[in-house]
């Protein structure tokens, strides 16, 4: 992958092996969103790419609770070991700590804002719907009974609270929210045999 440190990519592949919801595919999508949202902005692409790859690296070990702190610490350790400068290490750590909808500080840099938005975009839309259902199944919050699915989708929609930071992400998010709301309406109608 162009612009990506192969050592970091291999580390992420190894750490996320077996993760069913926030795995390597998610990290690579977030990386691509970061690159897209960074177009025509004055940001440090190296910081953004590293943070995009490493943002969820602790989830298989720590779960989602405070994963943003644990992933940041793992990133700091790795990047120092690989010889990255302290300025880059700290910038990546801030991005990772600030990326989560579940907690952590607010983003204080353009790179952190972009990572937050990129991660959130992967939470919405068709992919987000699948990831939300899979996460609920994996964590035992959803039995798999189709009649319970509207509740899972409502939980996804409720998490859209904090504002996004980039204009492009806000536009994409609105489109994806409309899709989720339409899907939820259709699902309810089918469950009630109205269609």
- Range in 5-9, 38-42, 137-141 with the lowest mean pLDDT: 137-141
- What residues contact residue 26 under an 8 Å CB cut-off, 6+ apart? 56, 122, 131
* Helix segments in the chain, DSSP class H: 6-16, 24-38, 45-54, 59-62, 67-81, 86-97, 110-121, 125-138, 149-158, 167-191
Instruction: Give tens-digit pLDDT for 149-173.
Output: 898 888 878 876 668 999 999 999 9
Q: Which has the closest alpha carbon to 56: 2, 135, 3?
A: 135
Q: Which has the closest alpha carbon to 162: 127, 120, 129?
A: 120
- Residue 5: is its pLDDT beyond 90? yes
Instruction: Give tens-digit pLDDT for 7-35.
Output: 999 999 999 998 887 889 999 999 999 99
- What residues contact residue 58 under an 8 Å CB cut-off, 6+ apart? 15, 67, 70, 71, 73, 74
* Confidence bin at 135 (pLDDT 50/70/90): confident
For residue 195, what pLDDT is reported?
65
- Quote the pTM value: 0.91
- What residues contact residue 82 under an 8 Å CB cut-off, 6+ apart? 5, 7, 8
**Residue 96: count of CB within 10 angstroms of its CB:** 31
Instruction: Give tens-digit pLDDT for 46-98.
Output: 999 999 999 999 998 877 678 999 999 999 999 999 999 999 999 999 999 99
């Amino acid at each position: 992958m162009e612009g990506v440190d192969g050592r970091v990519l291999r580390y992420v592949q190894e750490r996320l092996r077996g993760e069913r919801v926030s795995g390597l595919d998610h990290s690579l999508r977030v990386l691509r969103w970061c690159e897209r949202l960074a177009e025509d902005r004055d940001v440090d692409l190296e910081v953004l790419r590293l943070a995009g790859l490493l943002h969820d690296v602790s989830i298989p070990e720590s779960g989602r609770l405070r994963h943003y702190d644990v992933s940041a610490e793992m990133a700091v350790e790795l990047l120092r070991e690989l010889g990255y400068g302290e300025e880059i290490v700290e910038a990546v750590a801030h991005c990772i700590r600030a990326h989560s909808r579940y907690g952590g500080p607010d983003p204080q840099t353009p790179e952190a804002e972009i990572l937050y938005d990129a991660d959130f975009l992967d939470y919405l839309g068709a992919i987000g719907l699948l990831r939300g259902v899979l996460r609920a199944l994996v964590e035992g919050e959803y039995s798999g009974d189709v009649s319970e699915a509207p509740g899972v989708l409502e939980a996804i929609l409720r998490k859209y609270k904090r504002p996004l930071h980039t204009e492009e992400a806000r536009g994409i998010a609105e489109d994806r929210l409309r899709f989720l709301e339409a899907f939820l309406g259709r699902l309810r109608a089918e469950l009630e045999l109205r269609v």
